[in-house]
């Protein structure tokens, strides 16, 4: 099995060279996520509406290499925003991408901004 995880690299806010328009705000359910396609990659975007915040990370769960995270339940762990993979409930920080209940590799995370009811994800490529 080829590890697809290596294809995903975090983009820091300072590195953004392309704000990609992912969709309109309505495309993303409140307190939930949806998946978008960008240059062959699958990115999960979460509308954390109770916090009025948006997060983006790779859609690929590193545990079983499944394209699934956008369908996960979001929430918080000791105040820290997280997403849980629907398959085996592996949880990841939405801010740093790190695995909160195990030793899986980190998720790549990306900056998100909302302007004029459109959602943009920041990429360095």
Partner 1 sequence: MTKIVIVGNGMVSFKFCEKFSSREDYGQYSITIFGEEHLPAYDRVHLSSFFENGTAEDLILAPSKWYQDHGIKLHCGMLVTGIDRYHKRVQTLCGHSESYDILVLATGSHPFVPQIPGVEKQGVFVYRTIEDLEAILEYSKTIDDATILGGGLLGLEAAKATKDMGLNTQVVEFASRLMPRQLDILGSEALQRKMSELGLKIHLSKNTSEILGGDKINGLRFADGTAIDTDMLVISAGIRPRDQIGRECGLTVGPRGGVVVDDHMRTSDPSIYAIGEVALHNGMIYGLVAPGYEMAQVAIDNITGSTTSFNAADMSTKLKLIGVDVASFGDALSSSEDVIPIAFNDPFSGVYKRINISKDKKYLMGGILVGDAESYNLLLQMYKNRMPLPPHPEDLILGARNGAGAGIGLEQMPEQAQICSCENICKSQICKTITSGKAENLGELKEQTKAGTGCGACLPMVKDLMELTLKSMGKEVRNVLCEHFDYTRQELHDILKVKEIKTFQGLLESVGTGDGCEICKPAVASLLASTWNELVTQQATIQDTNDRYLANIQKGGSYSVVPRVPGGEITPDKLIVIGTIAKKYNLYTKITGGQRIDMFGARVDELPEIWEELINAGFESGHAYGKALRTVKSCVGSTWCRYGLHDSVSFAIEVEERYRGLRAPHKLKSAVSGCRRECAEAQSKDFGIIATEVGWNLYVCGNGGANPRHADLLASDIDSNTCIKYIDRFLMFYIKTAEPLNRTATWLNKMEGGIDYLRDVVVNDVLGIGEELEREMQFMVDTYKCEWKEVVNNPALRARFKHFVNRNEPDPTMAFAAMRGQKVPVNWGS
Q: Pick out residues in 42-101 that bind partner 1 (CB under 8 A).
A: 42, 45, 48, 50-51, 63-68, 71-79, 81-82, 84, 86-87, 89, 91
Residue placing its CB nearer to partner 1 in the complex, 67 or 114: 67
User: What is the torsion angle, in degrees rounded to the nearest 10, for the CA atoms of residue 82, residue 36, residue 22 and residue 63?
Assistant: 30
100 Cβ contact partners less than 8 Å away, ≥ 6 residues apart: 77, 80, 82, 91, 92, 93
Closest to 79 (Cα-Cα) out of 94, 57, 101, 99: 94
By CB under 8 A, which span of 10-18, 28-36, 109-117 interacts with partner 1? Answer: 28-36
Interface pattern 106-125 for partner 1 (x via CB under 8 A)? --------------------
Of the candidates 6, 17, 103, 116, which one interacts with partner 1 according to CB under 8 A? 103
* C-alpha to C-alpha distances, 98 to 13, 29, 33, 86, nearest whole angstrom: 17, 24, 18, 17
Residue 101 is given by DSSP the state S
When asked if residue 4 is in the footprint of partner 1 (CB under 8 A), the reply is yes
Which residues in this chain contact partner 1 in the complex, by CB under 8 A? 1, 3-4, 22-23, 27-32, 34-37, 42, 45, 48, 50-51, 63-68, 71-79, 81-82, 84, 86-87, 89, 91, 102-104
């Amino acid at each position: 099995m080829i590890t697809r995880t290596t294809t995903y690299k975090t983009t820091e806010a300072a590195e953004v060279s392309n704000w990609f328009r992912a969709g309109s705000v309505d495309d993303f359910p409140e307190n939930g996520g949806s998946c978008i396609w960008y240059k062959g990659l699958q990115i999960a975007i979460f509308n954390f509406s109770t916090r009025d915040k948006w997060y983006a990370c790779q859609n690929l769960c590193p545990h079983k290499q499944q394209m699934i995270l956008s369908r996960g339940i979001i929430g918080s762990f000791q105040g820290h925003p997280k997403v849980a993979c629907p398959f085996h409930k592996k949880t990841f920080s939405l801010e740093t991408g790190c695995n909160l209940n195990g030793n899986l590799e980190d998720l790549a995370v990306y900056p998100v901004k909302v302007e004029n009811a459109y959602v943009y994800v920041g990429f360095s490529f």
